[in-house]
């Protein structure tokens, strides 16, 4: 067994931020421009104080509502279900909400059938939302969480809003599942991390690090994967379910996307625009676009890539990716989105043609061409 059990983490001097809760602050918090900062050291492992506060809120609540973002990925679903199984272990009633059903490749996760678009009962006293930085990302589920007396947010995105009475946020973390792994590894956790929790967390790590290939992969996240494997999660099983379990429509859509691909900036920028007619022709769903942008990014000369598709209500959704130092999060923020340095998303008003022009211009400028 690794030292991860006794140390609660390997990294030192990592800064984690939380918005001031309504209740008294744990000892050791420092106020700084309206944000409370907790610094990780040998004597103060990451998230120990935050976990104690989270545990206190959960124990005084009789029923918890868990939520995650629209069009959920492996980190969103894995993190939400891991929290649900952890609450089961505490004997705390809970429900899991999501605007969209989980994509097919994530239905192997234990508890995936728990997801609902609206609560089956009332009377929840606490909300826990994971893997999002804005309540808008809850979609149709947002009103249920806004009505709750207390809200906890656990996330790894650069914060744009400050929702939540307790915020456990680490933008340096590769995944929300990585933050939860640190939380659940704390000595103060009365619930043993079993195979169900471990498999959900492993899925979040695998999907948000691209099977530990992306630049956000850290030594710490690799230690976490080993720790989760020791508790029953099988990395090979998760990778097979996520990457070798695709619908035929997804593969056919990928083929058409490659055929439609365009390039600019001497081959450094590549993109695909997926019209609604293509989805109708193939019987494809939005979830079948997963991974297309990474395929075109894999071209040797390409430094940045994006995929656009028509969303609902006259909006266009886009996935942006980059290699190396190119920060697509800054590009996304400038045109109506956000995310991480090498992986971001946008939602734009208007037609696909207009959106294509906007994103091509923004990405070209970022590439200096």
Query: Is the Cβ–Cβ distance between 171 and 157 less than 8 Å?
Result: yes
Instruction: Assess whether pLDDT exceeds 90 at residue 3.
Output: no
What is the tens place of the pLDDT at every residue in 297-306?
999 999 999 9
Give whole-number Cα distances, 348 to 225, 227, 272, in Å: 36, 41, 16
CATH number of 248-367: 3.10.310.30
Question: According to CATH, where is 3.90.1640.10 located in the chain?
Answer: 4-243
Quick one: average pLDDT of 38-47? 45
What is the tens place of the pLDDT at every residue in 108-123?
999 999 999 999 999 9
Taking the model in full, what pTM does it have?
Answer: 0.83
> Residue written as tokens 């790894």?
156
Residue in 121, 168, 118, 158 with CA at minimum distance from that of residue 140: 118
Instruction: Assess whether pLDDT exceeds 70 at residue 149.
Output: yes
DSSP string, 226-294: HHHHHTT--HHHHHHHHHS---HHHHHHHHHHHHH-EEETTTTEEEEEE-HHHHHHHT--GGGGTTHHH
Spell out the CATH class of 4-243. Answer: alpha beta
Question: According to CATH, where is 3.10.310.30 located in the chain?
Answer: 248-367
């Amino acid at each position: 067994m690794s030292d991860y059990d006794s140390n609660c983490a390997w990294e030192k001097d990592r800064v984690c931020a939380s918005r001031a809760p309504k209740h008294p602050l744990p000892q050791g918090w420092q106020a700084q421009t309206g944000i409370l900062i907790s610094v990780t050291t040998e004597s103060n492992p990451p998230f120990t104080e935050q976990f104690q506060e989270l545990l206190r809120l959960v124990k005084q609540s009789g029923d918890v509502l868990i939520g995650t973002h629209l069009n959920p990925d492996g980190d969103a679903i894995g993190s939400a279900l891991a929290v649900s199984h952890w609450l089961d272990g505490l004997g705390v009633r809970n429900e899991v909400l999501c605007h969209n059903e989980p994509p097919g490749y994530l239905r192997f996760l234990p508890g995936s059938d728990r997801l609902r678009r609206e609560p089956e009962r009332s009377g929840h006293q606490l909300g826990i939302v994971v893997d999002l930085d804005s309540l808008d990302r809850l979609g149709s589920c947002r009103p249920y969480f806004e009505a709750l007396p207390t809200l906890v947010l656990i996330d790894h995105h650069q914060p744009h809003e400050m929702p939540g009475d307790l915020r456990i946020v680490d933008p340096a973390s590769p995944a929300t599942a990585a933050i939860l792994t640190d939380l659940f590894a704390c000595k103060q956790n009365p619930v043993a991390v079993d195979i169900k929790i471990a498999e959900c967390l492993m899925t979040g790590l695998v999907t948000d690090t691209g099977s530990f290939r992306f630049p956000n992969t850290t030594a710490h996240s690799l230690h976490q994967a080993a720790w989760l494997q020791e508790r029953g999660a099988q990395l090979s099983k998760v990778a097979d379910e996520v990457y070798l379990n695709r619908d035929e429509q997804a593969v056919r859509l990928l083929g058409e996307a490659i055929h439609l691909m365009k390039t600019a900036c001497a081959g450094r920028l590549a993109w695909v625009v997926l019209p609604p007619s293509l989805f109708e022709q193939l019987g494809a769903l939005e979830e079948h676009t997963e991974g297309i942008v990474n395929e075109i990014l894999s071209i040797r000369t390409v430094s940045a890539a994006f995929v656009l598709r028509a969303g609902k209500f006259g909006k266009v959704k886009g996935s942006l990716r980059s290699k190396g130092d190119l920060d697509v999060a800054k590009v996304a923020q400038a045109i109506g989105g956000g995310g991480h340095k090498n992986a971001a998303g946008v939602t734009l008003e208007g037609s696909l043609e207009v959106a294509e022009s906007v994103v091509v211009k923004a990405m070209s400028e970022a590439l200096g061409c």
